[in-house]
């Protein structure tokens, strides 16, 4: 928790949590990491929600305002998100938000000990001149 707060203070990463209605249980997480400013103004997006809460539109609902914070308040020009080709849920979610495919990376991330290919996506902020 301290590390997350410190990254937030340094603006190198922002972590959001999704709570249930009673605000007693964390049901999901959203993070914007590896934030680079200067001429790049870009970061990576990661997200996940507990299985019992999936497919109810909640991640879409949660991503919209958090992406808005990163674009408007943190002045991000490019938000990148990548998913494994079989993860259609994640791909459809990104497309619904407006992310566009940028490429296909072989052996991109090591997950459970296996190097996995990923589809690279990004969302470019419109009218972001600063």
Site residues for ligand COA per CB under 6 A: 47-49, 54-60, 83, 87-90, 92-93, 96
CB atoms within 10 A of CB 41: 19
Pick the closer one to ligand COA by CB: 70 or 93: 93
* 51 Cβ neighbours under 8 A, 6+ residues apart: none
Residues in a beta bridge with 17: 29
Pick the closer one to ligand COA by CB: 12 or 87: 87
Task: Give which of 65, 67, 61, 33 is closest to 49, Cα–Cα.
Answer: 61
């Amino acid at each position: 928790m301290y590390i997350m707060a410190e990254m937030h203070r340094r603006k190198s990463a922002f972590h959001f949590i999704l709570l249930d209605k009673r605000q007693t249980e964390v049901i999901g997480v959203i993070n914007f990491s590896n934030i680079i400013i200067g001429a790049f103004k870009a970061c990576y997006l990661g997200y996940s929600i507990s299985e019992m809460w999936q497919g109810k539109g909640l991640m879409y609902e949660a991503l919209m305002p958090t992406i808005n914070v990163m674009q408007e308040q943190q002045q991000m020009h490019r938000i990148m998100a990548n998913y494994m080709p079989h993860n259609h849920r994640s791909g459809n979610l990104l497309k619904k938000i407006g992310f566009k495919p940028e490429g296909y990376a072989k052996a991109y991330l090591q997950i459970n000990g296996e190097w996995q290919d990923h589809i690279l996506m990004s969302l470019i902020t419109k009218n972001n001149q600063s």
